[in-house]
Structure 1
Amino acid sequence: MDATPLRAVLVTGASAGIGEEFARQLAMAGHHLVLVARRLDRLEALASELQARHNIRVACIASDLSKSDAAESLVAALQAQQIQVTGLINNAGFGDRGTVQDLPLQRQLDMIQVNVTSLVDLTWRLLPALKESANSFVINVASTAAFQAGPNMAVYYASKAFVLSFSEALHEELKRTGVAVSALCPGATDSEFASEANMSDTLLFKAGTMTTEAVVRKALASRRRAIVIPGLKNLLMIWLGKLSPRVVTRRLAGMLQA
């Protein structure tokens, strides 16, 4: 890597899906990048492609955010490589379909660690650097799942509700510092998530998906808004949910992923 300090946007979960698309669109806009995921080979292949196509620098860091010390180690790696983060996209996360009793406990605890704990940990550690950068931003990837309880995916839905609430509060805390914070709340999206979460055959995904390109385009264009909901269908579903009793919304959510 060039010895010049790197000012870059950090993207977690960058090896596939929405995270990979964030990397592509940010590279197209001329941002230097730090790509983070477990699969270093995928990150390096993507980095080579983006550096060849665009006049940017890309650093790759392998990190398993289900580990309790992952955020601390990741920030130490950034400091060792003299990288200053100017934007943070907390995209890493996963879900799994099944009842709380049927899913392995460790998988559900890992879900909380990745979706919630590591997200907060990494954000807290990088806030000082973000406050020093003009036009800096944080995009936390939540979900339309954040707006109601989700039987058969209870921990996933609860984790995304946390991300939404946390992001809204942080948006208010930081809006006078110049750091923009938003919660991106996509619905069903054409990515690896469905297969990884065992959801490909559910009504939710059979009803249609958005492309990662459309989701990320909306997220970046609206990153100074507290809540970003891509897609008219998703927006209407959320507003209808707000008008419905919670017993209705949670039962409907359970039906969509039964």
Structure 2
Amino acid sequence: MRRNVLITGASSGLGAGMARVLAEQGHHLALAARRTERLEALRDELLAAHPGIRVSVHALDVNDHDQVFAVVKEAVGELGGLDRVVVNAGLGKGGRIGTGRFAANRETAMTNFVAALAQCEAAMEHFYERKAGHLVVISSMSAMRGMPSSMTTYAATKAGVAHLAEGIRSDLIGRRGLDIKVTTIYPGYIASEMNEGVEQEARMMVDTETGCRALVKAMQKEPAEASVPPWPWKAIGPVMKHAPLGVVRKLV
């Protein structure tokens, strides 16, 4: 069992939800995010409910790339190694291209892609060193196609991290003596702080706990890719990839 797990963006939403599910299953956790007071509250909650686990808390702004590498090392030291790293931290800011929202779009691009690159680099350095590990990259169903309006940059970054993960996975092909897996998760609409008040998603949205249990179940199988929850997203994914853009707009 890959027992020691680092989750970035763990102070709320899907990160905190996955931490609760993993703690319930007996995993030791390294929780990283900017809002340390939330992380500390979550740590106390998890230790009270599951006294047999260990939980470390790490202040992390993923856009501070040196800090990303430092936090991975800290977590390795506190837990005695990492078996799985979940690259989860992200932003959903943005605006339609050409409408003066470059600053917000740039912030999303830096957080969702460049910072994810730093997290992948730090995690894979550790995994190559110990010859084992599981890198989990949280993408999005929006990565299947170019998305309109405020979702354009977000979707592009999630497509980027999916290709980043695939490239890392390709590097592992044929390399003997390594127990390293790379999984790309494509979540559909799961309720979280990031998408509060987004009305168009409500018809296919699942609650946070249901979504996070599905996320953990998927990643523990260590597939190359997984759509979560499987229904309806496993069926919708191919449609999004190949349908005319006008049809895709109606789906989102």
Q: TM-score, normalised by structure 1?
A: 0.84
For the residues of structure 2 that align with 1:103 and 1:170, how far apart are their CA atoms? 35
**Given residue 128 of structure 1, which amino acid in structure 2 is its aligned partner?**
E
For the residues of structure 2 that align with 1:91 and 1:143, how far apart are their CA atoms? 11
- From 144, 147, 155, the counterpart of 2:144: 147
Report deviation, 1:113.
1.8
1:160 aligns with 2:161: no
For the residues of structure 1 that align with 2:100 and 2:232, how far apart are their CA atoms? 30
Distance change in 2, residues 1:214/1:82 (3 Å): closer
Report deviation, 1:85.
1.9
Aligned equivalent of 1:121? 118
Q: Percent of aligned pairs with the same residue?
A: 28
Distance change in 2, residues 1:162/1:249 (3 Å): farther
**Given residue 166 of structure 2, which amino acid in structure 1 is its aligned partner?**
E
SS at match of 1:217: helix
Report deviation, 1:60.
0.6
**Given residue 172 of structure 1, which amino acid in structure 2 is its aligned partner?**
S
Aligned equivalent of 1:169? 167
1:32 aligns with 2:28: yes
Aligned equivalent of 1:230? 228
Aligned equivalent of 1:86? 83
Aligned equivalent of 1:239? 238
8 A Cα contact 2:136 2:184, kept in partner: yes
For the residues of structure 1 that align with 2:97 and 2:80, how far apart are their CA atoms? 40
Give CA-to-partner distance per residue, 1:24-81, whole Å, 9 cap, x none. Answer: 1111121111101111001001101111222111111111123344323423544675
Give the aligned length.
242
For the residues of structure 2 that align with 1:97 and 1:65, how far apart are their CA atoms? 18
- Name the Cα RMSD after superposition: 2.4
Aligned equivalent of 2:63? 66
Report deviation, 1:183.
0.9
Could you list the runs of 5+ residues in structure 1 that have no partner in the other structure? 1-6
**Given residue 113 of structure 2, which amino acid in structure 1 is its aligned partner?**
V
Distance change in 2, residues 1:104/1:46 (3 Å): same
SS at match of 2:56: strand
Counterpart mapping for 1:200-219 below 5 A: 200-203=197-200, 205-219=201-215
Could you list the runs of 5+ residues in structure 2 that have no partner in the other structure? none
Q: TM-score, normalised by structure 2?
A: 0.85
